[in-house]
Structure 1
Amino acid sequence: MESGQTGKSFWQAGHRPTLFAAFLYFDVAFMVWVMLGPLAPIISKELGLDPAQKGLMVAIPTLAGAVLRIVNGFLGDRIGQKLTGTISQVIVIAGLAIAWHFGISSFEGTLALGVILGFAGASFAVSLPLASRWYPPEHQGKAMGIAGMGNSGTVFAALFAALLAKAYGWTNVFGLALIPLIAVFVFYLIAAKDSPNQPAPKPLSAYAEVLKEADAWWFMLFYGVTFGGFVGLSNSLPTYYTDGFGVTPVIAGYCTAAAVFMGSLVRPMGGALADRFGGIKTLTVVYIVAAALLCVIATGPASLTIAVPLFIATLGTLGVGNGAVFQLVPQRFRKEIGVMTGLVGFGGGVGGFYLASSLGFAKKLTGSASLGFLIFAALAVVALLGLTAVKSRWRTTWGAAIQGVRI
């Protein structure tokens, strides 16, 4: 299974219960990871937060998740993905139960909860290798795309968090979130299974070794733009809509959900497109389109009817990019996939933290989030230039050594 084609179809090649468990775990974990985003307009009003504090509140779970992805990547190689995921789920369930029971009454309290929710964001470094290691190279794009479609959990947060907060109070949303979390946790314990094709555990120094490879840094940048843009906007759009267009948090949640749903839906398509046309070509188109859309958004859409389609197109584009990046990563770093999933996930989380916090700071300093969008568009251009610089070397070195797989 290290290289070449197995001849088996996708559904014959791997372990479906684990793939499904990885998807569900990723899904509910992402739902709670970004839940402070749609609740931000309500929480900030009650606690009296300024735009910068609001931006930081929704960005902290993303930063914590980024750091904890490295921890989970390391633990996954040491004790297995299933046990690592089990520990993270217990921490998140306990943290939400405490927040629900005692309530949150300060800005510092929201930051503390954000750190706990980071463990949910770190599910990325568990669920993707948990699924990936069951599949041969020619099916990596589809396997990673399906497991990674857990991004759709952000849709549920956007759709229901503000609605439930209006009906029951925002603190009770934490308690209600425990219902799907516990249900999926039980299924995960029953269905998930570590692949027998586990590489030898990597020491902590393996991260330093991998980081000596320039390709690792490129992948961190590439995912920092695609996934960072996806999760950063998922967290920031409810506030953007309520502040910019005066809509209610519930309506802002619906508008956000439409864009997040598109970004999640097309992630497997990104993996499939990368399998078909190559990850490099797919990402090239992604960065060009994303940069153009972000520049248009930075001009300040005049109405909700213009803004919503723009963000749907942007998150859809970034979603394709998420799938394409993780078609390439296992091809280049198959034996180090646990370490690399953590590192690339870290890059994505840092990108999301930067975007969400910068939009808040830009709003506070200039009265508009436009500068934040423009700088992120520039980052997409940097990623495009980087991809253009490395593509020839990739195709003639490690890409040429993989039979039957397009990069």
Structure 2
Amino acid sequence: MATAFWDETKDNSDGFWRSGHTPTLIAAFLYFDLAFMVWVLLGPLAPEIAKTLALSPAQKGLMVAVPTLAGAVLRVVNGLLVDRIGPKRAGAISQIVVIAGLATAWTFGVTSFAGTLVLGVVLGFAGASFAIALPLASRWYPPEHQGKAMGLAGMGNSGTVLAALFAPALAKMFGWNAVLGLACLPLTVVFLAYMAMAKDAPNAPAPKRLAEYLAPLRQADAWWLMAFYAVTFGGFVGLAASLPIYFTDRFGLSTIHAGYATAACVFAGSLVRPMGGALADKVGGVKALMAVFLLAAVALAGVASVGTMPAALALFVIAMLALGVGNGSVFQLVPQRFAAEIGVMTGLVGMAGGVGGFYLASSLGLAKQWTGSFAPGFLIFAALALVALAGLTLVKAGWRARWGTADGVRI
């Protein structure tokens, strides 16, 4: 039995790698990885920036939330560009904007709270890479491998680990403004690799009229998928941006040690994203998401009540593991329902995720300023996860009946 299981697993793995275009998958991952690194860059730098610019807790929360909101809005734009000019060219444009913006900020400096918000908008272009990298990879793969392909490309979430690990140490050595310039170096290397390796899939859908791009919004399924991703990805990126502030303010950690703690949490969520896609391929995205919402709600509610660093860290890791699986699970479902509109749906669902992240990051700052504690922010987001669970319970039977069995794909 064990031999048969191994042979089946090996055949499925070999079939996956033969079914698509590996250089494009690698290019999508690298682009996504480095883009996410700079998207959340203000989070690990926030304690130092706040000292320099004398920011309040609410201003710190807004500063780290603005890139998330900007990325959310720009994902819709990038989703349109992907379907209009192709993902490779759309990705090239976005990367050039981010590199140029960071180089400008490094050259002239960021000297005010307003300046951090402007920089946050520029970094939003990096967050919008989501709407490019995923369809760039996804269009090469058949339905039975969508979860794996989008999970591997989406593992670029791990770029947030790089920011948490290295940005605080580099800021301590060279100053936080210098980190903006240093980030341009790996971004440029990845841009060159991307241009050499990425290739648009030959089966891309024909461009549609502008009004047709938003047609999915007339269907309730699109709104449900957006809501679910607002919780899973919103929780992931909101925590990735906010945890350096939380660990320094709540437990008095140094910026470097807070970065290490954040990196551990983010690594957990990033590592399991492709596993979440593969799990959803195996047991169905709906079943995987139901477990995700329940576990995330319990972990985040627990964070609100614990008083020690080890307990908080353990609960954050559990929450990030659940949310990472949820990210992969949602995007196992999206192409099953909206295969012909995958570009714009990736943008719309990604936008919803960004809005969720903006809410979490900004609400934690407001909670700290208004109540003196981060706990209310965590409790409200835990409640949102339970609301998502209730919504999924409501729609799951209809989804399975209408669109969950094509080509043997399970939802």
* TM-score scaled by length of structure 1: 0.97
2:270 aligned with 1:264 = yes
SS of match in other structure, 2:275: helix
Describe the SS at the equivalent of 2:183: helix
Match of 1:404 in 2: 408
**2:143–2:407 contact (8 Å) kept in structure 1:** no
Q: Identify unmatched segments of 5+ residues in structure 1.
A: 1-5
Correspondence for 1:33 among 39, 60, 73:
39
Q: Residue type matched to 1:392 in 2? A: A
Q: Give % identity.
A: 68
C-alpha contact 2:25 2:153 (8 A) present in aligned 1: yes
Q: Which residue of 1 aligns with 2:148?
A: 142
Which letter does structure 2 place at the counterpart of 1:310? Answer: L
- Give the equivalent residue in structure 2 for 1:124: 130
Do structure 1's residue 388 and structure 2's residue 389 form an aligned pair?
Answer: no
Kept in 1: contact 2:40–2:160 (CA 8 A): yes
| Equivalences for residues 340-355 of structure 1 within 5 A | 340-355=345-360
Counterpart pick for 1:101 among 97, 107, 112: 107
The one-character-per-residue Cα deviations of 1:342-392 (angstroms, maximum 9, x if unpaired) are 000000000000000000001000001111111111110111011111110
Counterpart residue type for residue 221 of structure 2:
D
Deviations 1:290-322 (A, max 9, x none): 1111111111x2111111111111111100000
Indicate the SS of the match to 1:397. Answer: helix
User: Is the 2:24–2:198 Cα contact (8 Å) retained in structure 1?
Assistant: yes
**Greater shift after overlay, 57-66 or 208-217?**
208-217
Q: 1:8 to 1:255 in 2, by over 3 A?
A: closer
Distance in structure 1 (CA, Å) of the matches to 2:196 and 2:41: 27
| Alignment correspondent of 1:88 | 94
Q: 2:328 aligns with which of 291, 308, 323?
A: 323
Name the CA distance, whole Å, in 2 between partners of 1:7 and 1:169: 45
Deviation at 1:179, TM superposition (A): 1.0
1:309 is matched with which residue: 306, 310, 314? 314
- Give the alignment of 1:158-173 within 5 angstroms: 158-173=164-179
Taking the aligned partners of 2:209 and 2:267, their CA distance within structure 1 comes to 38
Distance in 1 between the 2:70 and 2:343 partners? Answer: 18
The alpha carbon displacement at 1:203 in A equals 2.7
- Structure 2 counterpart of 1:243, from 225, 249, 259: 249
Whichever residue aligns with residue 275 of structure 1, its letter is: D
Residue 227 in structure 1 maps to residue 236 in structure 2: no
Q: Distance in 2 between matches of 1:78 and 1:236?
A: 35
Distance 2:109 2:259 in 1: 23
- Tell me the residue number matched to 2:139: 133
Q: Is the 8 A contact 2:32 2:157 kept in 1?
A: yes
Contact 1:362 1:369 in 2 (8 A): yes
Which residue is 2:361 aligned to?
356
Instruction: Please list the CA deviations of residues 73-92 of structure 1 after superposition, one character each: whole Å capped at 9, or x if unmatched.
Output: 00110000000000000000
Partner of 1:3: none
Deviation at 1:21? 0.1
**1:33-52: per-residue Cα shift (whole Å, max 9, x none)?**
00000000000011000000
The runs of at least 4 consecutive aligned structure 1 residues that moved more than 2 Å come to: none
Q: Verify the 8 A CA contact 1:74 1:202 in the aligned structure 2.
A: no
AA aligned to 1:136 is P
- Residue aligning to 1:52: 58
Is 1:198 matched up with 2:189?
no
Number of residue-to-residue matches in the alignment? 400
Amino acid at match of 1:64: A
From 203, 214, 238, the counterpart of 1:208: 214
Does the CA contact (< 8 Å) of 1:206 and 1:339 recur in 2? no
In the alignment, the residues of structure 2 paired with residue 230 and residue 7 of structure 1 have an alpha-carbon distance, to the nearest angstrom, of 28
Q: CA deviation at 1:280?
A: 0.4
Counterpart secondary structure, 1:255: helix
Offset at 1:8? Answer: 7.2
Corresponding residue for residue 187 of structure 2: 181
| Superposed displacement of residue 147, structure 1 | 0.1
Give the SS at the match of 1:9.
Answer: helix
Residue identity opposite 2:278 in structure 1: A
CA contact (8 A) 2:237 2:357 kept: yes
For structure 2, the residue ranges without an aligned partner over 5 or more in a row are 1-11
- Return the TM-score normalized by structure 2: 0.96
Maintained 8 Å contact 2:214/2:344: no
